[in-house]
A = this chain, B = another copy of it.
Amino acid sequence: MSSIGQTMDKATPTESFTLVFQPSGARGKVEAGTSIRRAATALGVEIESICADVATCGKCRVLIEDGQFGGIDSSPDHASSMRSTEELWITRRTNTWRTMGLDPDRLRLSCQAEVQGHMVVFVPESSRGNRQIIRKAATDRHIDIHPAVRRYYLELEPATLADPLGDVERVSLSLVAAMSRIHGDIDWVAPEVNDIRFDFHVIRAMGDAIREGDWKVSLTVWQGHRVIDIRSGYSEELYGIAVDIGSTAIAIYICDLATGEVIGTDSMMNPQTVFGDDIMSRMAYENLHEDGLATLHDSVTSGLNKLITRALRSKRINATDVHEITVVGNTTMQHLFLGISTKYLGTMPFVPTSHRAFDIKARDLGIAINPSANVHVLPSAGSFVGGDAMAVVIAEEPHKQEENLLIIDIGTNAELIAGNRDGLVCTSTPMGPAFEGAHIEYGMRAADGAIEKLEIDSESLEPRYKVIGIEGWGPDNLGVEDSMKEGGPVKGLCGSAIIDAVAEMFRVGIIGARGHFNPDLQSERVRKGELGWEYVIAWSGETSIGRDIPVTLDDIRQIQLAKAALYTAAHLLLRELGIEAPDKIILAGAFGTHIDKTKAMMLGMIPNCPLDRVFSVGNAAGDGARIALLNRHKRMEAQQIARTIRRIELPVDPDFQNEFIQALNLPHMSHQFQAIADLIPDHGPDPMARRIRDPH
Task: Identify the A interface with B (CB < 8 A).
Answer: 159-161, 163-169, 194, 198, 200, 203-204, 206-208, 211, 338-341, 343-344, 348-356, 358, 360, 364, 380, 382-383, 647, 649, 652
Residue contact A168 to B207, C-beta cutoff 8 Å: no
- With beta carbons under 8 angstroms apart, the residue of B166, B200, B208, B382 that contacts A352 is B166
CB distance from A252 to the nearest CB of B (A): 22
CA of A239 to CA of B200 in the docked complex: distance in angstroms?
25
Say whether B161 contacts A207, CB under 8 Å: no
Q: Give complex CA distance A164, B207 in Å.
A: 50
A167 and B353: CB pair below 8 A?
yes
CB closest residue in chain B, given A207: B344
Return the contact of A353 from the options B163, B203, B350 (Cβ within 8 A).
B203
Whether the pair B169, A356 counts as a contact (CB closer than 8 A) is: yes
Complex formed: what's the CA distance from A203 to B194 in Å? 29
**A137 CB, nearest partner CB in chain B, Å:** 30
A163 surroundings in chain B (CB, below 8 A): 349
Complex CA–CA separation, A649 to B163 (angstroms) = 11
Give bound CA distance, A383 to B166, whole Å. 8
Chain B residues with CB under 8 A of A364: 200
A360-B200, A364-B200 known; A206-B353 Cβ under 8 A: yes
Query: Chain B contacts of A159 at CB under 8 A?
Result: 349, 351
B343 close to A207 (CB less than 8 A): yes
* Residues B351 and A203 in contact, CB atoms below 8 Å apart: no
The 10 closest A-B pairs by CB, nearest first: A168-B354, A161-B349, A159-B351, A166-B355, A166-B352, A166-B354, A207-B344, A167-B353, A160-B349, A164-B351
A169 touching B354 in the complex, CB below 8 Å, given contacts A160-B349, A164-B649, A349-B159 = yes
CB–CB A340/B204 < 8 A: yes
CA gap between A203 and B334 in the complex, in Å: 13
B208→A341 contact, CB < 8 A: yes
Tell me the minimal C-beta distance from A125 to chain B in angstroms. 36
Find out whether the CB atom of B350 lies under 8 angstroms from the CB atom of A203. no
Q: Which residue in chain B gives the minimum CB-CB distance to A161?
A: B349
Would B161 and A348 count as touching, CB distance under 8 A?
Answer: yes
Whether B200 pairs with A168 at a CB distance below 8 angstroms is: no
Which residues from B are CB-within-8-Å of A358? 200, 203
Contact in complex: A351, B204 (CB < 8 Å): no
Whether A164 touches B340, Cβ cut-off 8 Å, given contacts A200-B364, A356-B169, is: no
Q: Could you show 26 A-B contacts with beta carbons less than 8 Å apart?
A: A159-B349, A160-B349, A161-B348, A164-B349, A164-B647, A165-B355, A166-B351, A166-B355, A166-B356, A167-B344, A167-B351, A167-B353, A168-B353, A168-B354, A168-B356, A169-B354, A169-B355, A198-B354, A200-B358, A203-B340, A203-B353, A204-B338, A206-B353, A207-B340, A207-B341, A207-B353
Other A-B contacts than A161-B349, A194-B356, A200-B338, 17 sampled, CB-CB below 8 A, are A159-B351, A164-B350, A164-B351, A166-B352, A166-B355, A166-B380, A167-B344, A168-B354, A200-B360, A200-B364, A203-B354, A204-B339, A207-B341, A207-B343, A207-B353, A208-B341, A211-B344
A614 to chain B, nearest CB (A): 32
A169-B355, A344-B211 known; A161 vs B203 contact (CB < 8 Å):
no
How many whole Å from A334's CB to the nearest CB in chain B? 11
**Contact partners of A339 in chain B: CB under 8 A:** 204
> Which chain B residues border A355 with CB–CB below 8 Å?
165-166, 168-169
Contact between A352 and B203, CB atoms less than 8 A apart: no
A365's nearest neighbour on chain B, judged by CB, is: B200
Task: State in angstroms the CA–CA spacing of A159 and B360 once bound together.
Answer: 26
Minimal Cβ-Cβ distance residue in B for A210: B344
Determine the distance from Cα of A194 to Cα of B379 in the docked complex, in whole angstroms.
13
Query: A338–B203 contact, CB under 8 A?
Result: yes
Report the separation of the CA atoms of residues A351 and B208 in the bound assembly, to the nearest whole angstrom: 12
Our pick among B194, B200, B207, B352 for the contact of A167 (Cβ within 8 Å) is B352
**Cα(A254)–Cα(B142), bound, Å:** 58
Question: What is the bound-complex CA distance between A9 and B340, given in angstroms?
Answer: 54
Q: How far is A654 from B169 in the complex, measured between Cα atoms in Å?
A: 28
Residues in B with CB closer than 8 Å to A649 are 161, 164
Could you tell me the distance between the alpha carbons of A198 and B338 in the complex, rounded to whole angstroms?
13
Nearest Cβ in chain B — how far from A192, in angstroms? 12
Closest B residue by C-beta to A354:
B168
A164 touches B383 (CB 8 A): yes
User: Once the chains are docked, how many angstroms separate the CA of A364 from the CA of B202?
Assistant: 13
Could you say which residues of chain B place their CB within 8 Å of the CB of A350? 161, 164
User: Which of A159, A203, A348 lies at the interface centre, i.e. has the most chain B CB atoms within 10 A of its CB?
Assistant: A203
Could you say which residues of chain B place their CB within 8 Å of the CB of A360?
A: 200
- Are B164 and A354 in contact, CB atoms less than 8 angstroms apart? no
Interchain nearest-CB distance for A477 vs B (Å): 54
Residues of chain B within 8 A (CB-CB) of A341 are: 204, 207-208
Say whether B200 contacts A354, CB under 8 Å: no
A159 to B345, CA, bound (A): 11
Q: Chain B nearest CB: distance from A688 CB in Å?
A: 29
Distance (Å) between the CB of A8 and the closest chain B CB? 43
Chain B CB within 10 Å, residue with most, of A166, A204, A206, A382: A166
- B-side contacts of A351, CB under 8 Å: 159, 164-167
Known: A160-B349, A649-B161, A652-B161. A167 touches B203 (CB 8 A): no
Residues of chain B lying within 8 A (CB to CB) of residue A206: 353
A211 nearest CB neighbor, chain B only:
B344
Taking the nearest CB of chain B, how far is it from the CB of A631, in angstroms?
Answer: 20
A55 to B35, alpha carbons, bound, how many Å? 67
